[in-house]
Amino acid sequence: MDDWVRYVRAVATRYAGRITADELWVLAPSPHFFTGDAATPTRMTQRATAVIRRAGPRATLVCPSRG
């Protein structure tokens, strides 16, 4: 989870004010990209939302699709 948070922070900080919407998981339902339970992407979305909102309080977040 720490690697995920660092990645999200780096992207959110770099593009703060230049991205109007963030989609956190484009291919979440694909077994090639994620094979865990539904609780894990939920936690990752919660953590990413907090990080992105610190970088850009008006950011729009699109929740992961589950297929």
pLDDT for 32 equals 78
∠ CA 40-44-49, nearest 5°, is 150
* Structure tokens belonging to residue 33: 């990209």
pLDDT for 2 equals 94
Per-residue pLDDT of the chain (67 residues; tens, 9 = 90+): 899 999 999 999 999 989 888 888 766 667 777 788 878 888 988 999 999 999 988 888 887 666 5
State which amino acid sits at residue 29: P
Q: Kindly state whether residue 50 falls inside one of the protein's structural domains.
A: yes
Q: Kindly state whether residue 67 falls inside one of the protein's structural domains.
A: no
- C-alpha–C-alpha distance, residues 12 and 16, integer Å: 6
Global pTM? 0.78
Q: Kindly state whether residue 37 falls inside one of the protein's structural domains.
A: yes
pLDDT for 64 equals 65
Q: Kindly state whether residue 13 falls inside one of the protein's structural domains.
A: yes
- Specify which residues 23 forms β-bridges with: 62
Reported in sequence order, the residue ranges of 1-67 that DSSP labels E, i.e. its strands, are 21-23, 60-62
